[in-house]
Amino acid sequence: MFRYILKRSSPFRGAGLILVTFGIVLIVKGLYYSNTHMRSYDVVQKNVSNLLLGDINIRAQTNYTSSTTIRQERHDPILPVCEIDHKALKGREQITLTSQSLISLESMFPESHVGGRFQPKGCKPKSRIAIIIPFRDREIHLKIYLSNVIPKLRRQNADFTIYVVEQAPGSHFNRGMMRNVGFVEASKIADYDCFIFNDVDSIFEDDRNIFRCGRDNSVRHLVTGVDVFDYKLKYSILVGGIIAFTPAQFRKVNGYSNFYFDWGAEDDDIYYRTERENMVIERPEKNSTIGFMSTLKHTRDPEAQYRFNILHSRTNETSHNDGVNSLKYTVKMVSHKKLFTWIYVSVDEDEVLKGLDIRIRRKIAAYRAKTKKT
């Protein structure tokens, strides 16, 4: 066809040549861009969270990523109040350990709204819940968590949004701080009346364990037994795993302490905060399986011995100055994915620790010097 046109007339021949040249330029350009894209993808793979890699795939497919805030609006007030259909609950179930890709998980829950919000249909929820997951380097756990927990919470007719708060490399992991960041950042997005802090490896087994907050001074620890502790709690004041605070309760205790980098004691610290503020810890029914929780396996971070120095130095006054009201972090990215809102933050560890008593800071420095990899 082209040859025919080229042969027939010279103006057509000119146009044809231009077209062919344009085509060649496009092909060369395309090759160049796909190459540079692959190169930048490689860099991302080496330096940034794997969740961001997931994000690139998701963005290509569904355009969910945005660094702008989505303010989530409340329900239409004329709807009837949502009630839990107890017949729809299944009771205790064994958790499934298969890990699927984020994209196949997304297709399992087409009803989710951008940012990982799930809403009951045709009724007005009694509560608006934010689930806060402190996170670093546990992608498989996150996928197992989502596939097990979302169906259970759907059966509870809950209005919930999942937040994954990931700490960027460059500082030791700080579980308490990531939970505080989740509280502050989620509060900017919507008016939640219940915050449930849930570790990524802690999965409630029984859907009769209703995810809701307590009233007044009752903070709800949603666990009565952990699989690896023979379905008991290791000690009576343990509040790790899954715990629910109303915003007022969380502000009253000033959230978690920001000083516990490394493993341990931030959960005991917040227990003592509730005690000092005359709050009580409420748990699901004791003599049933309702509060049972499964945990996912992982290698344990080394215990930071100095944590007891921090824990034992805490008073009402130090807690009032260390927590949500003294939180310092940098948001590197917020991404409204289909099944969760991802908040990626960096922390300046030395700067945070400046708020701590100098004697304890020396102990931490000595511990770091001793454990430093050579």
Which residues would be at the binding site for ligand UD2 (CB under 6 A)? 133-138, 173, 175, 199-202, 226, 238, 240-241, 263-264, 266-267, 301
Closest residue to ligand UD2 in the complex (CB): 240
Closest residue to Mn ion in the complex (CB): 201
Taking CB within 5 to 8 Å according to partner kind, which of ligand UD2, Mn ion, none is near residue 271? none
Is 322 among the residues that bind Mn ion (CB under 5 A)?
no
- Name the minimum Å distance from CB 82 to Mn ion: 32
Smaller CB separation from Mn ion, 149 or 194: 149
Is 267 among the residues that bind Mn ion (CB under 5 A)?
no
- Name the minimum Å distance from CB 269 to Mn ion: 17
Smaller CB separation from ligand UD2, 125 or 182: 182
Taking CB within 5 to 8 Å according to partner kind, which of Mn ion, ligand UD2, none is near residue 333? none
**Quick check: 145 and 133 in contact, CB under 8 A?**
yes
Taking CB within 5 to 8 Å according to partner kind, which of Mn ion, ligand UD2, none is near residue 264? ligand UD2
Smaller CB separation from ligand UD2, 82 or 132: 132
Taking CB within 5 to 8 Å according to partner kind, which of ligand UD2, Mn ion, none is near residue 207? none
Taking CB within 5 to 8 Å according to partner kind, which of ligand UD2, Mn ion, none is near residue 291? none
Q: Which of 55, 201, 267, 268 binds Mn ion (CB under 5 A)?
A: 201
Smaller CB separation from ligand UD2, 119 or 245: 245
Taking CB within 5 to 8 Å according to partner kind, which of ligand UD2, Mn ion, none is near residue 351? none
Segment near Mn ion (CB under 5 A), from 63-71, 161-169, 178-186, 200-208?
Answer: 200-208
- Name the minimum Å distance from CB 297 to Mn ion: 9
- Name the minimum Å distance from CB 113 to ligand UD2: 24
**Quick check: 115 and 55 in contact, CB under 8 A?**
no
Smaller CB separation from ligand UD2, 213 or 243: 243
Taking CB within 5 to 8 Å according to partner kind, which of Mn ion, ligand UD2, none is near residue 238? ligand UD2
Smaller CB separation from ligand UD2, 72 or 307: 307
- Name the minimum Å distance from CB 229 to Mn ion: 12
For 213-235, b/e burial (b = at least 16 CB within 10 A) is bbeeeebbbbbbbbeeeeeebee
Quick one: three-class SS letters along the chain? CHHHHHHHCHHHHHHHHHHHHHHHHHHHHHHHHHHHHHHHHHHHHHHCCHHHHHHHHHHHHHCCCCCCCCCCCCCCCCCCECCCCHHHCCCECCCCCCCCCHHHHHHHCCCCECCCEECCCCCECCCEEEEEEEECCCHHHHHHHHHHHHHHHHHCCCEEEEEEEEECCCCCCCHHHHHHHHHHHHHHHCCCCEEEEECCCEEECECCCCCCCCCCCEEEECCCEEHHHCCECCCCCCCCCEEEECHHHHHHCCCCCCCCCCECCHHHHHHHHHHHCCCEEECCCCCCCCCEEEECCCCCCCECCCHHHHHHHCCHHHHHHCCHHHCCCEEEEEEECCCCEEEEEECCHHHHHCCCCHHHHHHHHHHHHHHCCC
